[in-house]
Structure 1
């Protein structure tokens, strides 16, 4: 048996109301704060990507593999950066 509080629609309605109440109390974010968030989001995405690339180049130098490790580590860094950015944007 489910309780009325377990309904996803009710949960989302309460979450929306809480966000609206917070907005009414605090108002909109400043332009500077929005730019800061965009900058942080960029760094959250770029740092793991570059880290994967540097790790791949280092592994290639260690094993003399040409660019064998660079591509997979770069893709892994992109995935980690994208996942981290997604979680940061959707944090509650």
Structure 2
């Protein structure tokens, strides 16, 4: 029985195939340059920061309209953090 004959629903088999495919891609393409890695880090940072800033400014705008102090700012910031974290996580898992 070869690894390709194993059932597809086994998580261990799925992870082994994924590792094999990644290793084959690494052998074929080589390692990324330092510039590309730094660019990925920069994009990842902005993926987290940009939604936080939108939530912060949106919350401040709502607070100015309603006179609520920091009532909308904190939830807007937390919502932006959650959205940015989820987006960054999804982007990293897609790579």
Root-mean-square deviation (CA, aligned residues, Å) is 1.2
CA distance in 1, matches of 2:18, 2:82: 29
Of 68, 71, 83, the match for 2:71: 68
1:87 positional shift:
1.1
Tell me, yes or no, if structure 1 residue 85 matches structure 2 residue 88: yes
- TM-score normalised to structure 1 length: 0.92
1:5 positional shift:
2.1
Please list, as runs of the form range in 1=range in 2, the aligned pairs for 1:44-55 lying within 5 A after superposition: 44-55=47-58
Instruction: Name the counterpart of 2:3.
Output: none
Of 11, 14, 19, the match for 1:16: 19
Q: Deviating runs (4+, > 3 A) in structure 1? A: none
Point out the more displaced range, 29-38 or 8-17.
8-17
5+ long unaligned stretches in structure 1: none
Deviation string for 1:16-75 (max 9, x for gaps)?
A: 100000000000000000000000000000000000000000000111111111011111
5+ long unaligned stretches in structure 2: 1-5
- TM-score normalised to structure 2 length: 0.89
**How many positions carry a matched residue from both structures?**
90
Point out the more displaced range, 61-70 or 46-55.
61-70
